[in-house]
Amino acid sequence: MKNISYLLIAFIFFCSCSVKNADISLKTVEKTLDIAQQQTLLMAKAMEKLPGRLPKSISPDGQLETSSEYWWTSGFFPGQLWYMYEYSGDERLKNQAELFLERVENQQYVTDNHDVGFIVFCSFGNAYRITSNEAYLPIIENAAKSLSTRYSPVTKTICSWDRASWNNQWQYAVIIDNMMNLELLEWSAHKFNEPRFSDIAQSHANTTMANHFRPDGSSFHVVSYDTITGLPELYHTSQGFSHESAWARGQAWGLYGYTLMYRYTNNKNYLDQAQKIADFLINHPRLPADKIPYWDFDAPDIPNALRDASAGAIMCSALLELHQYVQPQKGREYLDVAKKQLVSLCSDTYLAKVGTNHNFILKHALGHQPNGTEVDVPLSYADYYFVEALMRYREQFGE
Ligand code: GLY
C-alpha cells in the first residue's frame, strides 16, 4: 500500500512537472523580449556602419550576411525595431527604426516581384500602426498599387515570380508565400477606401485555396498557371524536399495568410482553410515534441533532419491569432501548441545569448535546403515573427 502511495505521489509530481514544462510564463516571455531588445540594439549599432544594407543571416564562413533593400527580407529588421520600440518605449529603438525605414523606402515602387508586400507592410505598416505618423501612408498606398500591378484577371492571382527570372520554367508562378502579401492589400483597401485592393486579395486567396491545397490540408509550394487558359499547369516546389512534400515554412505561410484574410474579411471559408492547415500541422506525426518543425515534413532523414525555427516562429504567431477565432476546444489545442513553441524558442536550444549569433535572436532556421543556402542559421524573418509572437502572447496574457 505504502509503495503504491509513493508511486502515486511520484506520478502526480511527474505530471505537474510536464504540464509546467509545456507552459510558458509571462515572466519568460518578458525576459526573452528584454534579450530581443538588447540584440536588436546591438544589431542596429553594427548595421549603422553599413549604409543601405539590412541584416539577413550568417554566411557559411561565419560572417554577418547583409542584403540590399531589393532582397525579399529587407523589411523585417525595420519591423523588428518597431516591435521592440513598442515593447520598451526606448527612444534609441525609434531612432534606429526610422533610420532603417529609410533604407527600404524605395521598395514602394517595385513591381517586378511580389515581395513588396512583405517589405513595405512589415516595415512601414508597423511604423504607422505604432506612431500614426501620416507621412507613412502614401508609401504604403504606393506599395499596394505596385503589388496590384501583378494581378492577372486570367489566372485570378498575383504573380510571385516573373517568368524570365526563373529561366522560363514556369509560365506564371504563384507561391504559397504570396498569401502573406495580401495583408498590405487588405489593410490598404480599408485605409484608402480602395475596394479593388481587397477584390484582388480575395480573388488571389480564393484561387490559391482552390489550387494550392491537397486533400490532407498541406500545400504545394509553387503552382504555375497557364497564361492563356488561366488554369494550373504545374504543381512544383522550389524550396521543399520534393514537389509532393510539405515544405514547413510554406505550410506556415499558408496558415498565417488565411488567418489574416479571415481577420480582414470575416469570410468563414478563410477560417475553415486556416483550421485545415492548422490541423494538418499540429496533428502531423512528424511534428517533433518541441513543436519546432523539421524544414520539410517529408525530409527523408527525419528524425535527423534539420529544424526550421522560422517555420516554428511563423506558425506560433499565426496560432496565437487563430486560437481566438475558433471553437473553445480547438482554440485550446492551437494555443497549447503555440505555447509549446514559445517554450522551445525561448530555450537555450534556439535563443541566442546576448552579444552572440551576430546579434540575431534565434538560431537554427533554414532558408533554402535544396540550394544549400542559409542552412541551420539565423534568419531575419525568424526573429521578426518570433518577436511578433512574443508581443501577441504578452498582449493576450499580460496583466
Ligand atoms: N518567401 C521566401 C521564403 O519563405 O523563403
**DSSP string of 267-325, one letter each residue:** -HHHHHHHHHHHHHHHT-TTS-TT---BSBTT-TTTTSSPB-HHHHHHHHHHHHHHTTT
| pLDDT band, residue 220 (cuts 50/70/90) | very high
First to last CA, the chain: 45
pLDDT tens sequence across 59-118: 999 999 999 999 999 999 999 999 999 999 999 999 999 999 999 999 999 999 999 999
| pLDDT band, residue 342 (cuts 50/70/90) | very high
Radius of gyration of the chain, Cα coordinates, nearest whole angstrom: 21
Query: Count of CB atoms within 10 A of residue 235's CB?
Result: 16
Residue 360 has pLDDT above 70, yes or no: yes
Instruction: Find, among 213, 345, 217, 367, the residue nearest to 295 by Cα.
Output: 367
Please report the atom of ligand 1 found closest to the CA of residue 118: 1
With a Cβ cut-off of 6 Å, ligand 1 is lined by 72, 177, 239, 249, 367
Mean pLDDT of 288-304: 98
Instruction: Find, among 197, 201, 212, 207, the residue nearest to 230 by Cα.
Output: 207
Active site residues: 115, 177
Q: What local confidence, expressed as pLDDT, does residue 1 receive?
A: 45
Contacts of 109 (CB under 8 A, 6+ apart): 142, 146
How remote is the C-alpha of 396 from its chain's centroid?
19
d(CA 362, CA 381): 10
Residue 308 has pLDDT above 80, yes or no: yes
With beta carbons less than 8 A apart as the criterion, state whether 237 and 245 touch: yes
With beta carbons less than 8 A apart as the criterion, state whether 117 and 107 touch: no
Please report the atom of ligand 1 found closest to the CA of residue 177: 1
**Maximal CA-CA distance, the chain:** 79
Q: If you measure from the C-alpha of residue 177 to the centroid of ligand 1, how many angstroms do you get, rounded to a whole number? A: 6
Q: What local confidence, expressed as pLDDT, does residue 71 receive?
A: 98
Query: Count of CB atoms within 10 A of residue 15's CB?
Result: 10
User: For the chain, what percent of residues have pLDDT higher than 90?
Assistant: 93
Give the DSSP letter of residue 169.
S
Mean pLDDT of 228-232: 98
Q: What local confidence, expressed as pLDDT, does residue 207 receive?
A: 98
Phi-psi region of 357 (alpha: psi -120 to 50; beta: other; left: phi over 0): left
Question: Pocket of ligand 1, candidates 70, 71, 177: which has the most ligand atoms within 8 Å of its Cβ, to mutate?
Answer: 177
Type of residue at 81: L
Residue 5 has pLDDT above 60, yes or no: no
Q: If you measure from the C-alpha of residue 398 to the centroid of ligand 1, how many angstroms do you get, rounded to a whole number? A: 32
Q: What local confidence, expressed as pLDDT, does residue 285 receive?
A: 98
Please report the atom of ligand 1 found closest to the CA of residue 239: 5
Residue 128 has pLDDT above 80, yes or no: yes
Instruction: Find, among 356, 354, 345, the residue nearest to 29 by Cα.
Output: 345
pLDDT tens sequence across 17-55: 333 446 999 999 999 999 999 999 999 999 999 999 999
Q: If you measure from the C-alpha of residue 192 to the centroid of ligand 1, how many angstroms do you get, rounded to a whole number? A: 28
- The three cell numbers of residue 114 are 511580389
Q: What local confidence, expressed as pLDDT, does residue 22 receive?
A: 61
Average pLDDT of the chain, as a whole number:
95
User: For the chain, what percent of residues have pLDDT higher than 70?
Assistant: 94
Q: Which ranges of the chain does DSSP label H, i.e. alpha helix?
A: 2-22, 26-48, 76-88, 91-104, 116-120, 126-131, 137-148, 182-191, 195-211, 248-265, 268-282, 309-322, 328-345, 380-397
Q: If you measure from the C-alpha of residue 27 to the centroid of ligand 1, how many angstroms do you get, rounded to a whole number? A: 32
- The three cell numbers of residue 201 are 486579395
Q: What local confidence, expressed as pLDDT, does residue 167 receive?
A: 85
d(CA 184, CA 202): 12
Query: Count of CB atoms within 10 A of residue 81's CB?
Result: 30
Q: What local confidence, expressed as pLDDT, does residue 4 receive?
A: 46
Mean pLDDT of 291-317: 98
Residue closest via CA to ligand 1's atom 2 equals 177
- The three cell numbers of residue 83 are 516591435
Residue 310 has pLDDT above 60, yes or no: yes
Instruction: Find, among 286, 280, 272, the residue nearest to 216 by Cα.
Output: 280
- The three cell numbers of residue 333 are 489545442
Residue 65's H or E segment, with its range, is strand 64-67
Q: What local confidence, expressed as pLDDT, does residue 11 receive?
A: 39
Task: Report the predicted TM-score, pTM, of the whole model to 2 decimal places.
Answer: 0.95
Residue 324 has pLDDT above 70, yes or no: yes
Question: Pocket of ligand 1, candidates 238, 249, 251, 296: which has the most ligand atoms within 8 Å of its Cβ, to mutate?
Answer: 249
Q: What local confidence, expressed as pLDDT, does residue 399 receive?
A: 77
Mean pLDDT of 295-306: 98
